[in-house]
Amino acid sequence: MGIRLANHPNIQENRDKAKNSESFRVFLHGVNLSLNFETHLNTSCDATQKYIVVNDSGSNYVSYTGFICLQDEIMYVNSASVVDSETTRFEVVRARYGTVALTHDIYEYIRSVIEVTQDTTGYKTSMTMCNPLSDLFSPVISNGYLYMSVLEPYDWAIWSTNRKYNTANKTVLYIYEGIRGEIMLQYTGFNGICTFDTDMNKVEFKFEDKLGLWWEKKMDKDLIFKDDNIKTVLSELLDYDINKIQYSTFDYGTSGILVDGSFYNCDLIGTNEVEKYRDFLKLLSTLGIRMCFDQYENLLLFSDININT
């Protein structure tokens, strides 16, 4: 068995694209001056439904009309109505811009977005599972960049009294790509920070992968794990739905499916041993575990050691 330094397809993926086709769409979450929301479906939906029911404590989203991103599908909310104090019903147009109407589960993320495709001049994104130049398994934060050319960069300035967009929030980026007018989600970026050049009428955003939401956060939990599998540990550590933590399915020459038993369990590891979340994630990596978030916000796990082949 031993250590296998396989060229795993999810270790690194880079995208670098100028605006040269119609087969891409770009959306931002968090920049609307009036209403931005992130939520989940209250009940799963199939591909034929013309409405979705979302979690909405306090009925805050009933005034919303506009685009929402839900995995590979872009929808448009035509109207909203209160179901009860905890849920809101959206009447939606499905499968916008060449996306496909799909079945969606309750643990998937839904966000309100605005489209910035027409202003986009290019983007660069990457997804990296580890940094072999530093050590074998420690996770790293991947970055993405969005470049836009706008008529009025002051519309994006946080200090401008006439701004049209709210860049004080940590923005989320969605990039959809495809061919022949059919597109799918290819990148989701987080912690977006905006800069702009008023002379060149340019706006630029820098993003991180979702791991960045925890990376610099001070450890605020007191947990001890005793012979627990890695999915359980990460779910409790990050307060993340265990359905969104997945073993990467790389073909090792047999079944190609990783399971709990493919990884060492975490035994007598405590969060009080570290200062920040990143330190605990690095501690987990000493078990030979690589990790990164994909475009669907799934936390992918992979290892070159202790694989049952």
Per-residue pLDDT of the chain (309 residues; tens, 9 = 90+): 233 333 343 445 566 664 445 589 999 999 999 899 999 999 999 999 999 999 999 999 999 999 999 999 999 999 999 999 999 999 999 999 999 999 999 999 999 999 999 999 999 998 766 554 455 567 888 899 999 999 998 899 888 888 999 998 889 999 999 988 899 999 999 999 999 888 889 999 999 999 999 999 999 999 999 999 999 999 999 999 999 999 876 544 445 577 888 788 888 789 998 999 999 999 998 888 888 899 999 999 887 665 544
Last residue of a domain, one of 209, 225, 252: 209
Is the residue at 192 inside a domain? Answer: yes
Residues 16, 52, single domain; the answer is yes
For position 57, what pLDDT does the model report?
Answer: 96
In contact, 5 and 102? CB cutoff 8 Å: no
For position 19, what pLDDT does the model report?
Answer: 45
Residues 157, 203, single domain; the answer is yes
Q: How far is CA 51 from CA 169, 187, 219, 231, in A?
A: 29, 26, 40, 33
Residues 53, 152, single domain; the answer is yes
Residues 218, 172, single domain; the answer is no
User: How many residues make up the chain in this entry?
Assistant: 309
Last residue of a domain, one of 188, 209, 230: 209
User: Which segments within the chain are labelled E, that is strand?
Assistant: 12-18, 24-29, 38-40, 51-55, 66-70, 73-84, 87-93, 109-115, 120-128, 143-149, 171-179, 182-197, 202-208, 224-225, 245-247, 269-270, 289-293, 299-303
Residues 199, 261, single domain; the answer is no
For position 308, what pLDDT does the model report?
Answer: 46
Is the residue at 254 inside a domain? Answer: yes
Is the residue at 3 inside a domain? Answer: no
Last residue of a domain, one of 176, 194, 209: 209
For position 268, what pLDDT does the model report?
Answer: 79
Residues 39, 165, single domain; the answer is yes
For position 186, what pLDDT does the model report?
Answer: 94
Which secondary structure element, helix H or strand E, spans residue 279, and what is its range? Answer: helix 277-285
Residues 73, 182, single domain; the answer is yes
* Helical axes 277-285 vs 230-238, angle rounded to 10°: 170
| CA 260 to centroid of chain Cα atoms | 24
Residues 152, 228, single domain; the answer is no
Q: Which amino acid is at 209?
A: D
Q: How far apart are CA 253 and CA 53, in angstroms?
A: 43
Q: How many domains does the chain have?
A: 2
Task: Assign residue 292 the CATH number of its domain.
Answer: 3.55.50
Q: Which residues contact 86 (CB under 8 A, 6 or more apart)?
A: 42, 55, 56, 57
DSSP secondary structure letter of residue 224:
E
Residues 236, 197, single domain; the answer is no
Is the residue at 164 inside a domain? Answer: yes
Containing domain of residue 278, as a range?
214-303
Residues 130, 28, single domain; the answer is yes
Residues 119, 203, single domain; the answer is yes
DSSP secondary structure letter of residue 117:
G
Residues 187, 241, single domain; the answer is no
| CA 113 to centroid of chain Cα atoms | 14
